[in-house]
Amino acid sequence: MHEYLVGIGEFRVAKGFAVLKTIGLGSCLGLALYDPLEKIGGLAHVMLPKSHNGTVRSAKYADHAVEMMLEAMERIGCKRHNIIAKIAGGAQIFEHMTMDFLKIGERNVEIVRSLLKEYNIRVVSEDVGGKLGRSVYFFTNNGKMLVKYSNGVERWI
């Protein structure tokens, strides 16, 4: 088993038994894509909802992350029609930021759900919103995701 750290604005894909982890999700979103038949998974640490015209392709944007991860997973043998998704994060860490354009966590969740629907990818579980930061550990052998909250609580999704 290999363990890979996914940094802010990055993604990783793996086949077989690996643990893909990302730490310190606040308003950021941990997006896991998984092909249960081929045991291929990917995890992205998404920072922002949408890129702008001319933006260099980067996994820090939700729209790029989904596309880039799907392409990388298909290159190592995954079948797009098998893919399911799990998402975690998208918290509103700073309660006093109430203006809509500052609700990045909420916007990250909305855009990722919308993009996955466009790709016909079903979200099978999620742990989003709230006020606590999270770290996630995604297991590519079985598609399970462990969510660890900043207050020490752990939850499997």
Q: Which is it for the CA torsion 57, 60, 61, 65, positive or negative?
A: positive
Give me the DSSP letters along 68-110.
Answer: HHHHHHHHTT--GGG-EEEEEE-----TT--SGGG-HHHHHHH
Is 78 catalytic? The answer is no
Given the residues 14, 19, 20, 28, the one annotated as active site: 28
The Cα 104–Cα 120 span in angstroms is 24
Catalytic residues: 28
